[in-house]
Amino acid sequence: MPDLRTRSAGAKVTEKEYAQIEKLAEARGLNVGEWCREVLLTELEQGEAPSAETILTEVLAVRMLLLNTQAALLRGETMSTEQMQKLIERVEREKFRKLAERVEEQQTARKKPQREESSGNGKR
């Protein structure tokens, strides 16, 4: 026997937000309640949202891929499937290294003001 749905999960939204939700639901052939339920359960199945570092890593990878392909195109070059695959593999290798560099830069930048304040001799 399937579990009975006895609990409700809801949220207040503006008229504009509701219209957007309604449009999305209709596009999927669902009413608003069914659509909301589907979205909530999908989120539960997927578990935790990706971390900021994961998102940044992927953004950096896409940026590297875009800049490299754009540079080749601006030079009038074309890329073969093999060249593109090699570029993608290189980007995959580099993205984690670049992320580590960015995180280290951010940590260093955050620590500098603290060091300057704490290294003072008390004179102003």
C-alpha 77/C-alpha 81 separation (Å) is: 13
pLDDT of residue 76: 93
pLDDT of residue 19: 92
The ranges assigned to domains in the chain are: 15-46, 52-117
pLDDT of residue 67: 92
Low-confidence ranges of the chain (pLDDT < 70): 49, 113-124
Amino acid at 82: E
User: Is this prediction's pTM over 0.85?
Assistant: no
Q: Percent of the chain having pLDDT more than 70? A: 88
Q: At what angle do helices 81-118 and 52-74 cross, to 10 degrees?
A: 130
CB 91 within 8 A of CB 64: yes
CB 33 within 8 A of CB 5: no
C-alpha 22/C-alpha 28 separation (Å) is: 10
The tens digit of pLDDT for each residue in 58-71 reads: 888 899 899 999 99
pLDDT of residue 121: 55
